[in-house]
Structure 1
Amino acid sequence: MAISDRLVRYLGSTKNLVGSAGGLAGLGLHFTGLAGPYWPLIVVGLYGAGALAAPPQRVTLVIDDTVARTGRLRADLDGLLARAGEHRLPAEARERVDVIASVLRDVLLRSDVLSDSPDLMYEVSRAVRTDLPTSLETYLNLPRWYAVRRTGHGTAGEELIAQLDLITASVMRTAEAVYDADHRRMRDHTRYLRDREPDDDLGSPPRAG
């Protein structure tokens, strides 16, 4: 099995790809009649030269668990929403939960950005595993009569709405930070497109012919 794994890795390696390109060049010389009777040796030699000249494969020892972590967070979020959906929630609260879940699902698709930012990953994880479940669980554990009872601080439902608004603001800030890198790349590309064009050509129609 170990030999088979090494063989599979080598077949996809840069050395094999470059060597194969050299071997194909040798075959091209043979088909054009330039390699002579020793063309097999030329093919092998060009393959070997290409494989030796190719840069070595980069050693990767650090395991990036971001994709697995975002997958677990998505599963936790889906499980939380399914369990909460089995219980009563005020309509306004349910609307806010849907918005929060939608934003979090979008952010969790960007494992490429989250892998480079432990702070953003922490914010997403905290929203999914602490902030949102704590608010929903505390409210849902209240008796219904108490949840709608108005005190000097308002109802428990109003308190839940206030908490969900704060969570919404937090996940929105996290999402903005995640997508800010894409926006910067867009601005950089706009600047590049402008800089490569002469000023007098901006806004003028393309020349015919």
Structure 2
Amino acid sequence: MATSRAALAYLESRKNLAGMVGGLAGVGLALGGLAGAFWPVVVAGLYAAGALIAPPERTPPPEFDPSEQLGAVREDFARLREYLAEVELPPAAGGKLAELMELYARLLDPGWVADVLAGEPESVHVLSRAVRSDVPESVDTYNRARWWSRLQPGAVPPERHLERQLGLLFDEAERLTAGLQDREARRQQTHTTYLEERGRS
């Protein structure tokens, strides 16, 4: 089955089509009496030459649907919320985490904001990394460090690191949101410019 598919693919390939053109030229030479008794060699040679000079087939890169990628991040975000619901955090860190999760939720909420986000692969990557790696790692390392801090009192409290990490993630999320807002503002300005130029003409 795979062999027949490969054969069919070759029959439709550029190399075969170019070879066929060369082979037909060889047949034309033979019919014109220019190939002599060696016409089969001429036809085969021109076919081979055509096949060799034809550009190779290009395998197209896979196409990824941004909305599907965002849907996967949305599912992971739901799992992250379930995990965080089971974790105890100090009040300051818990408040900062709640703000951060609310901002993520607004970005991922299905609608036009998510559509804008889906059109920005780098923003999707930043949000995906935060949801799948940064937030879980921050909370998990806090829980581990909290246990060790009981054995070594006097060190920097682990909640201070957690608060700092969550603050940095919140700043990153705000920058991401501002970038999306700027994109929409540029889009609006472009439309205004287009309408102004159309009015002049």
Task: Give 1:77-116 correspondences, 5 Å limit.
Answer: 77-108=77-108, 109=110, 110-116=113-119
Count of matched residue positions in the alignment of Structure 1 and Structure 2? 137
Judged with a 3 Å threshold, the aligned counterparts in structure 2 of structure 1 residues 147 and 159 are, in CA distance, closer, same or farther, namely farther
Task: Give 1:106-145 correspondences, 5 Å limit.
Answer: 106-108=106-108, 109=110, 110-143=113-146
Judged with a 3 Å threshold, the aligned counterparts in structure 2 of structure 1 residues 93 and 129 are, in CA distance, closer, same or farther, namely same
Of all paired residues, the percent bearing the same amino acid is: 28
CA distance in 2, matches of 1:155, 1:124: 28
Q: Aligned residue for 1:9?
A: none
CA distance in 1, matches of 2:107, 2:120: 12
| Deviation string, structure 1 residues 140-184 (Cα, Å, up to 9, x no partner) | 2345582797635x2001110011111111111111112222222
CA distance in 1, matches of 2:151, 2:125: 34
Judged with a 3 Å threshold, the aligned counterparts in structure 2 of structure 1 residues 196 and 68 are, in CA distance, closer, same or farther, namely closer
Judged with a 3 Å threshold, the aligned counterparts in structure 2 of structure 1 residues 67 and 116 are, in CA distance, closer, same or farther, namely closer
Q: SS of the counterpart of 2:154? A: coil
Judged with a 3 Å threshold, the aligned counterparts in structure 2 of structure 1 residues 149 and 88 are, in CA distance, closer, same or farther, namely farther
Could you state the TM-score of these two structures normalised by the residue count of structure 1?
0.54
CA distance in 2, matches of 1:150, 1:183: 51
Could you state the TM-score of these two structures normalised by the residue count of structure 2?
0.56
CA contact (8 A) 1:66 1:111 kept: no
Structure with bigger gyration radius: 2
CA distance in 1, matches of 2:65, 2:114: 10
CA distance in 1, matches of 2:153, 2:187: 50
Q: Aligned residue for 1:66?
A: 66
In the alignment, structure 1 segments of 5+ residues that lack a partner are 1-60, 198-209
In the alignment, structure 2 segments of 5+ residues that lack a partner are 1-60
CA contact (8 A) 1:139 1:157 kept: yes
Range 64-73 or range 90-99, more displaced = 64-73
Judged with a 3 Å threshold, the aligned counterparts in structure 2 of structure 1 residues 78 and 99 are, in CA distance, closer, same or farther, namely same
